[in-house]
Amino acid sequence: MIPYKYILFRIIAIFPVVVGAVTLMFIIMRLIPADPVLMLIDPAHRTPEVIASMRKAMGLDQPLYVQYFSYLFNVFRGDLGYSWHSGHTVTEELIMRFPATLELVTISLIVCVLVGIPLGILAGWRRGKMADHFASGITLAGLSLPPFWWGIILIILFYFFIPLCPAPLGRISIGVNPPTHITGLYLLDSLLTGNTVVFVDSFRHLILPVAALAFFNLALLTKLQRSEIAEALESDYIKTARAKGASETTVLFKHALKNALLPTITEIGLIFGGLIGGEVVVEQVFSWPGMGRYAVDCIQFVDYAGLQGFIIVVVLTFTVVNLITDLLYAFIDPRIKQ
């Protein structure tokens, strides 16, 4: 039976968190010790009249609580406001940049899952053996190398010394036209339109950023998965299975994995959050035209609506992913079905 009540409760519970996050962001942005009005006016034209009329046009002459409630009201109507420094609406800006970020984060997540989980399982299963030491080395390196530095080192190695990858300047080579816009994800769009040239080109552009972004989170996932397996293998039901004469592969695949993979589902939510955070820094290194670079620009230009809009999208995505992983966990694990 599907626990509709629980699902409904969890969906409703998203709202206070998002409103809280928006409120917090609203306050934090107003604390930035720089005046957005002055950022937009050329120093030569900064007369009091110009400043006052600009302030009025931007709605900043209203009391703070009026600004807050009108912002909140507009957000619920789907209007994220106007991005002062770019001259577009925030929704336009984010829609334009979301696919680039989504592509980078999704491919990195897939790499994390496909490499991190098997590596963690292997390390936990062969504890203290060669495979475990190898995985420990990878984990330690991944968790210790700063992703932005690692990205630059990858560029030095695989662009400068051994030119295997294209220049770290965006999603596609100059001179190659982006594929017909369907989803905005270049890999998917070029596949759908059968454009192999663009597919190969955008794939090559993804290799280094994904390697830089995924490494840290892959290491985290390996570490978590290793301890899940190691703990499962120490438990009583494994001893029982072994006592009954089950082979090691049966023990691992039929008994240990079933239990150890469950918590991994919620950990994937955690990894997703790590990827979104890390993506902001990695986008800087690879001039990736995603939301992270826009967010950093917004901070520099004190663009209130821009950064607030970015945070709403990130918090909403992160919360929904966590909700999905929690529900999936509850759905798969028969013990929590109640």
Partner 1 sequence: MLTNKRWKYSLFLIKNSKALIMGLALLIFVLCVTFFGPLLVTANPNLVNLQEKLLPPSSGHPFGTDMLGRDILSRIVYGARNTMLAAAISVVIGLFFGVFLGGIAGYAGKKVDMGLMRSADILLAFPTLLLAMALCAALGPSLEKAALAVGISFIPSYMRLIRSKVLSVKEMEYVEAARAIGASSWRIFSHHVLPNSISPVFVASMVYAGFGILWTTSLSFIGLGAQPPTPEWGLMILQGRDYVLSGQWWVVAFPGIFIAIAVAAFNLIGDGLRDILSPKLRIT
Binding of residue 143 to partner 1 (CB under 8 A): yes
Binding of residue 118 to partner 1 (CB under 8 A): no
Task: Single out the residue of 66, 114, 153, 200 in contact with partner 1 (rule: CB under 8 A).
Answer: 153
Binding of residue 28 to partner 1 (CB under 8 A): yes
Binding of residue 60 to partner 1 (CB under 8 A): no
Taking the C-alpha atoms of residue 268 and residue 273, their distance in angstroms, rounded to an integer, is 9
Helices (H), the chain: 4-31, 36-40, 48-57, 64-76, 90-111, 117-125, 130-144, 147-155, 186-192, 196-233, 236-243, 248-250, 257-285, 291-300, 304-332
Binding of residue 267 to partner 1 (CB under 8 A): yes
Tell me, residue by residue from 217 to 236, as one string, x for binding to partner 1 by CB under 8 A and - for no binding.
-------x--x---x-----
Cβ within 8 Å of residue 256, ≥6 positions away: 125, 229, 232, 233, 238
Taking the C-alpha atoms of residue 213 and residue 148, their distance in angstroms, rounded to an integer, is 8
Binding of residue 307 to partner 1 (CB under 8 A): yes
**Of 109, 300, 335, which is closest to residue 220 (Cα–Cα)?**
109
Task: Single out the residue of 40, 58, 238, 296 in contact with partner 1 (rule: CB under 8 A).
Answer: 296
Distance set, CA 294 to CA 94, 104, 242, 273, 299 (Å):
8, 15, 55, 18, 9
Task: Single out the residue of 318, 321, 325, 330 in contact with partner 1 (rule: CB under 8 A).
Answer: 318
Stretch that binds partner 1, among 82-90, 246-254, 308-316, 323-331 (CB under 8 A): 308-316
Q: Applying CB under 8 A, which residues contact partner 1?
A: 16-18, 20-21, 24-25, 28-29, 31-33, 140-141, 143-150, 152-153, 155-156, 159-160, 224, 227, 231, 267, 270, 273-274, 276-278, 280-281, 284-285, 295-296, 299-300, 307, 311, 314-315, 318-319
